[in-house]
């Protein structure tokens, strides 16, 4: 019986085709099959390099476009725009001389015009102001994502309410969003909290706008979220 089982296993083994052997080492690039190179691949520094490659795929921030100025301008004639608003077509030599007399830079703002348009300005100061505005917008965008929370008791006194709302105004002036939460014993529909928030909204009218109406989140809790009003600078 055992002898018959051995013959059966031998027949089955002849029918089964062996799977092809895959050598991981053979798949490595030339020069990486040695033990020394494999140890290098296992080293922590190599893993850091792999992470560095992955981070290189991130989209870089747009770089500032630098305009041609002064001696970099190649056109023979230019239309200069003066600080007070007047403009005139001059030869490049005369335009450079006028810029030098005014202690300003001649900056080519529209190279595709005929003749190219150049503006008289303090170019270093203009670039600095532009960077400051861009950084200010980025900081304001980050602040607008921050949500501060201020809690009010449903039976808060007038003095304490004024103090709390002054805190809300300070957050709003910094460009932050504010979530005001009214807590305490209220009716099922939170009417007391909603009335308190309506009064608070009227007092904050010059500083904030509601993102949506007050929400009753459960027993003894009514919330509202304010966003700062962006005032246009002249």
Percent above pLDDT 90 for the chain? 18
Q: What is the pLDDT of residue 44?
A: 47
Percent above pLDDT 70 for the chain? 66
CATH number of 102's domain: 3.10.20.80
- Is the pLDDT at 15 greater than 90? The verdict is no
- Is the pLDDT at 32 greater than 70? The verdict is no
Most confident of 24-28, 44-48, 141-145, 163-167: 163-167
Q: Which structural domain, as residue segments, surrounds residue 103?
A: 70-125
The arithmetic mean of pLDDT across residues 61-70, rounded, is: 73
Q: What is the pLDDT of residue 166?
A: 93
117 and 185 assigned to the same domain: no
Decide if 33 is inside a domain: no
Most confident of 14-28, 138-152, 214-228: 214-228
Decide if 65 is inside a domain: no
The overall average pLDDT reported for the chain is 75
116 and 164 assigned to the same domain: no
pTM: 0.41
Q: Could you report the per-residue pLDDT of 136-186, keeping only the tens digit for each?
A: 776 666 665 778 889 999 899 999 999 999 999 999 888 888 999 999 888
Decide if 199 is inside a domain: yes
Distance between CA 46 and CA 52 in Å, rounded? 10
Distance between CA 107 and CA 99 in Å, rounded? 10
Decide if 15 is inside a domain: no
**92-94-100 Cα angle (round to 5):** 100
Domain count within the chain: 2
- Of 20-29, 77-86, 138-147, 191-200, the one with minimum mean pLDDT is 20-29
Q: What is the pLDDT of residue 117?
A: 92
169 and 201 assigned to the same domain: yes
């Amino acid at each position: 019986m055992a002898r018959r089982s051995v013959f059966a296993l031998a027949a089955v083994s002849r029918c089964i085709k062996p799977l092809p052997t895959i050598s991981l080492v053979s798949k490595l690039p030339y020069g990486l099959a040695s033990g020394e190179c494999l140890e290098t691949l296992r080293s922590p520094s190599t893993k850091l390099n792999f992470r560095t490659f992955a981070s290189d795929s991130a989209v870089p921030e747009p770089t500032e476009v630098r305009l041609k100025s002064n001696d970099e301008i190649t056109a023979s004639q230019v239309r200069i725009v003066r600080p007070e608003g007047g403009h005139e077509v001059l030869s490049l030599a005369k335009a450079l001389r006028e810029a030098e007399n005014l202690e300003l830079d001649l900056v080519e703002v529209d190279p595709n015009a005929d003749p190219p348009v150049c503006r008289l300005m303090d170019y270093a100061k203009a670039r600095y102001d532009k960077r400051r505005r861009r950084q200010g917008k980025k900081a304001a965008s980050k602040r607008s994502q921050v949500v501060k929370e201020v809690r009010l008791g449903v039976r808060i006194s007038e003095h304490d309410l004024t103090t709390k709302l002054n805190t809300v105004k300070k957050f709003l002036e910094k460009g932050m969003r504010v979530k005001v939460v009214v807590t305490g014993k209220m009716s099922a529909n939170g009417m007391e909290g909603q009335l308190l928030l309506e009064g608070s909204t009227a007092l904050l009218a010059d500083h904030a706008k509601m993102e949506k109406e007050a929400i009753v989140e459960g027993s003894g809790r009514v919330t509202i979220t304010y966003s700062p009003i962006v005032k246009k600078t002249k």
